[in-house]
Amino acid sequence: MKDPIVAQMRQYRMEHTKQFHGDLALICEDLRKLEAGLGDRLVSPQPKRLRRSVGPEAGSSNRDTQL
């Protein structure tokens, strides 16, 4: 079963790629210009802090190897 939303996104992506003859540098440049035009409509989430895992729930019972 095909997801119509995924199919539509793939179609848009292929059309965009054809505009730039598959040149990845030009595609990325165009996307950056589009992104810059969106201004405050973009969300920039804060990076998540990594937590140190220690103990059996981390997949190892040897605490000396987990930092």
Structural element, H or E, at residue 43: none
65 within a domain of the structure (yes/no): no
Q: Mapping DSSP to helix (H, G, I), strand (E, B) and coil, where does residue 44 land?
A: coil
Q: Is the pTM of this model over 0.75?
A: no
Domain count of the chain?
Answer: 1
Q: Output the pLDDT for position 44.
A: 77
Q: Please provide the size of the chain in residues.
A: 67
Confirm whether 53 is domain-assigned. no
Residue 4 lies in a domain: yes
Query: Is the distance from CB of 41 to CB of 32 less than 8 angstroms?
Result: no
Domain for residue 59, yes or no? no
pLDDT tens-digit readout, 33-49: 998 888 888 787 888 88
Q: Quick check: 53 and 66 in contact, CB under 8 A?
A: yes
